[in-house]
Each structure stands twice: as structure tokens, then as C-alpha cells.
Amino acid sequence: MATQRSNSEADDPLNSGPPASVHASLEPRALELLQAIANSPEPLGARELGRRIKAGNRPLSESTVNRLLRRLDEQGLTRSMDGRGRVVSEAGRVLAQRAAAEHTWHQQIGSLEIRTVQDVRDLLIARRGVEREIVREAATSVSDEDIERLQAVMEEYERSVHTDERRRDVSTNFHKALATTVENSMLRAVATVIFDPRFDMLEHVLDMVTAGRGTTMHSVSEHEEIMRAIRTGDPDVAEAAMVRHINRLIADASAVVAPSTRLAIELLLKNQSPVIGGGT
């Protein structure tokens, strides 16, 4: 049955993102200095660091480097080696590694795009793997307050289902709200990726497909089935309901559509239209 969690946890929106990143905790030049020092096999002085860290086409001035180094020292991220230069502390090394990992992560996420109908299906398959686990946890740990919120979000979609633009605006809100109810931080983090705004056009594509196939209304009863399982605290039934729901969307996305609909979808994906919406 439902368990109680703090209001701060329950109200935490999925799209608020993860805690402040390394890039937000240090000014860019200071972070560059920290990473340069961490990557060096020997201590680095202000002059050498100035040559390595450019300000446009010119080396960073020693006065600027020294000012930034003092801040890094004060934060316990670097330390002086008796006039031979700076080295990173253990905390500084960990922070530099985190910054490098963040940079790689953002590069990988930035390369993800929806360009073809196959990409739409691939994203739905990824969603199925994540959301079946999300709904299992929701069924065993969701709070009474969360149930009320999920119900309100679901009813908002039901009221909007006959209005194209409004439906598209709220189509994934039920799925996003489910992700905010779980305490598993890894699931929440992955959910921020699969519901990233860059994939909003997926919902518009699904809306075009489901409208053409006459299946748009199916989401209403499928959402209700998921909610019934959550209320009764049955993770197996909740998972099965979610899988059926997303499998139906995958089938819709895989189906042969009218030539005019396919052309509209191809143009949408080609032009990367920012329209939000869909039949989820």
C-alpha cells in the first residue's frame, strides 16, 4: 500500500533536473585550471597555466590565474607545492573527474536526435524498459499525496483528449509524474533523459499516427488501468499494464500509415519542428 514521503520529495518535479553540476559550482576558467592541474603529472605554476588556458587567442594573465588559484585553494581543491606550482587535492581530483564525465555525458546526450520513424520506435522501446521499473516501484512505495497528484494529471489528459493542441501539451505528463514518485535516483536520472525536451516531437509524431489509426482514446483507458494497479499496490499488474500501453504505442509507430501521414511525419522529423504533443 501507499507509504508516506516528505512533501519536498513528493513535490520534486522531474524536469528540475539533477543537483547542481560541477560546471555550475565553479566558474568556467577555474574549472579549466583545475582540470589542467589534475591532468598534469607535475605541479603547474601560474605562468604555465596561463599559457595553457587561453583568453581568446591570448594566454590568460598571471594575475587572473593567481586569483582563480587562490579560490581553488580556499575551496580545498588545490594546494601549493612550496613554490613549484599547484597540485590538486583528493577532493579536487574527484571534482575534475566528475567534470570530465559530465562533459562526456552532455556530448552523448547532445548527439541523440529523432530523425526517422525507426528512431521513434527505438525511443519507445527504451521507455518501455525504464517505465516498467518505474511503475513497479510506484506501486509499492507511492504516497497518498502522489496518488492524488497522478490522478489529477491523468484526468487533465482525459479532459484534453478531444482537443488536439491541448492534448499534445499534456500527453506525457502522466508518465513524467510517475517518474517523480520513485525514490530510486538512477531511475529518476534515466527518466530525465527519455523525457528530455529534445524528444518532444516524438509526441507529435505519435499523435499523428494514433489519430490516423483511431487509437488516440486508448491511452485514457490504459492510463486508468495503470492507476488501478498502483492504487492496489500490485507491482506485477502495474508493470504488465504499462508494458501493454507502450507495446500498443510501439505497434502504432510500426504500423503502415497513409502516404499523406508518412510524408507529414518525414517532413516534421526532417525539419525538427518544436511542436509538442502526442498520443501517450
pLDDT digits (tens, 9 = 90+) for 227-246: 999 999 999 999 999 999 99
Q: Which residue has the higher pLDDT, 30 or 263?
A: 30
Measure the CA angle with vertex 254, ends 251 and 259; round to 5°: 130
| Per-chain mean pLDDT for the chain | 80
Asked whether the CA dihedral 207, 208, 210, 211 is positive or negative, the reply is positive
In tens, the pLDDT along 88-123 reads 999 999 888 888 877 766 665 555 566 666 777 888
Using 50, 70 and 90 to split pLDDT, how confident is the model at 4?
A: very low
**Calpha distance 125→207 (Å, rounded):** 17
DSSP 44: B
**Calpha distance 148→59 (Å, rounded):** 58
Contact 158/220 with Cβ under 8 angstroms? yes
* Count of Cβ atoms closer than 10 Å to residue 135 Cβ: 28
User: In DSSP terms, which residues pair with 78 in a beta bridge?
Assistant: 88
**Calpha distance 128→250 (Å, rounded):** 9
- Answer yes or no: is pLDDT of 206 > 90: no
Find the mean pLDDT for residues 143-160: 92
* Count of Cβ atoms closer than 10 Å to residue 184 Cβ: 14
Query: Which pLDDT value is given to residue 54?
Result: 76
Q: Would you say the pTM of this structure is higher than 0.75? A: no
Lowest mean pLDDT among 94-108, 132-146, 155-169, 183-197: 94-108
**Calpha distance 13→135 (Å, rounded):** 17
Query: Which pLDDT value is given to residue 2?
Result: 45
Contact 20/27 with Cβ under 8 angstroms? no
The amino acid that residue 61 corresponds to is S
* Count of Cβ atoms closer than 10 Å to residue 23 Cβ: 14
Task: Report the Cα–Cα distance between both ends of the chain, in Å, rounded.
Answer: 26
User: In DSSP terms, which residues pair with 88 in a beta bridge?
Assistant: 78
Query: Which pLDDT value is given to residue 256?
Result: 65
Contact 93/38 with Cβ under 8 angstroms? yes
- Answer yes or no: is pLDDT of 79 > 90: yes
Greatest CA span in the chain, whole angstroms? Answer: 75
Query: Which pLDDT value is given to residue 3?
Result: 46
In tens, the pLDDT along 172-201 reads 889 999 999 999 988 988 888 888 777 777
Find the mean pLDDT for residues 137-166: 89
> What is each CA distance from 81 to 43, 66, 77, 78, 95, in whole angstroms?
7, 14, 13, 10, 20
Lowest mean pLDDT among 18-27, 47-56, 159-168, 217-226: 18-27
Query: Which pLDDT value is given to residue 239?
Result: 97
- Answer yes or no: is pLDDT of 13 > 50: no
